[in-house]
Every structure is written in C-alpha cells, then in structure tokens.
C-alpha cells in the first residue's frame, strides 16, 4: 500500500465526507478506493471489456409465454450465463437471479431482452467487474 497526498477544494472535500457518512465508510481513503473502483468498473462496461454482472427479474410464472421466452433467450446466451437461481416468492411471483460473465455489450443485450419482455414486473442489471 502506498500513501499520497491529495489536494481538494473545500466543497469537494465536504462531498467526500458526505459520501463517507452515507456509505458508512471507515475513512476518506476507503471512500477514494470506492470511487476509483466504481469508476474503473463503469469504464470496463463503457469500453466493452469482459465483465461480470447479475440480472434480477420478478415475474408471474402463470404467464407461460413470458417464461418460455425468458428461457429461450437465456439459451441463446448460454456462454454468458454462469448460473441462475429461481425462488418462488408467493403463489404468483418468482424471483430469478442470473449470474453473468462476458463482453459488456452481450450482457447488456441479454438484459435488455429479458427486462423488456412483455409482462416482466421488474428487471435490473447489476454491472460488476472481474476484479
Ligand atoms: Ni417460481
């Protein structure tokens, strides 16, 4: 670990301290690490690198057409889909989490197709990194 000095305007330092409080980070160094890592991950997605991610879906399993289409789409992306977990939330609703690894553009295309399915109640792509 290396140490270095950082000069910041007062208002920017206030923003950093706000962030430390909001995210309950132990100190400013951890806040700066958090911001750098988050920015690197964002850049990896923007420059179409190999990344990881997760899609969260909530849908009514009685909508068979939607369920079949969601399965067909995932099979098209079988090299990117690492695993999927299906949980029955209640009588009607299912929660599915799909872990992904691959080119950012492929993962985004897969997420758009699943989240955009007619009848999908909720869908979210979490954009993460390989580390
Ligand atoms: Ni279910």
Is 55 within 8 Å of 114 (Cβ atoms)?
yes
Cα 72 to averaged position of ligand 1 atoms, centre (Å): 17
| Per-residue confidence (pLDDT) for residue 131, from 0 to 100 | 86
Residue ranges of the domains in the chain?
10-46, 50-127
pLDDT digit string, tens, across residues 17-62: 999 999 999 999 999 999 999 999 999 999 999 999 999 999 999 9
Provide long-range contacts, Cβ within 8 A and 24+ apart, for 72-75.
73/110, 73/113, 73/114, 73/117, 74/98, 74/110, 74/114
Query: How far apart are alpha carbons 62 and 32 in whole angstroms?
Result: 47
Cα 127 to averaged position of ligand 1 atoms, centre (Å): 25
Cα 131 to averaged position of ligand 1 atoms, centre (Å): 32
Cα 75 to averaged position of ligand 1 atoms, centre (Å): 19
Cα 103 to averaged position of ligand 1 atoms, centre (Å): 29
pTM, full prediction: 0.88
Domain 50-127 part of CATH 3.30.70.1150: yes
Average pLDDT value over all residues in the chain? 97
């Amino acid at each position: 670990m290396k140490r270095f000095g950082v000069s910041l305007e007062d208002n920017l330092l206030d923003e950093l301290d706000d962030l430390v409080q909001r995210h309950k980070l132990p100190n400013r160094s951890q806040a700066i690490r958090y911001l750098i890592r988050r920015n690197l991950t964002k850049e990896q997605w923007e420059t179409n690198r190999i990344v990881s991610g997760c899609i969260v879906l909530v849908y009514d399993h009685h909508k068979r057409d939607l369920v079949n289409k969601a399965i067909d789409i995932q099979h098209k992306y079988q090299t990117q889909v690492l695993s999927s977990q299906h949980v029955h939330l209640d009588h009607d609703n299912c929660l599915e989490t799909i872990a992904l690894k691959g080119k950012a553009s492929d993962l985004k295309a897969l997420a758009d197709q699943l989240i955009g399915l007619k009848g999908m109640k909720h869908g979210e792509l979490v954009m993460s990194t390989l580390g």
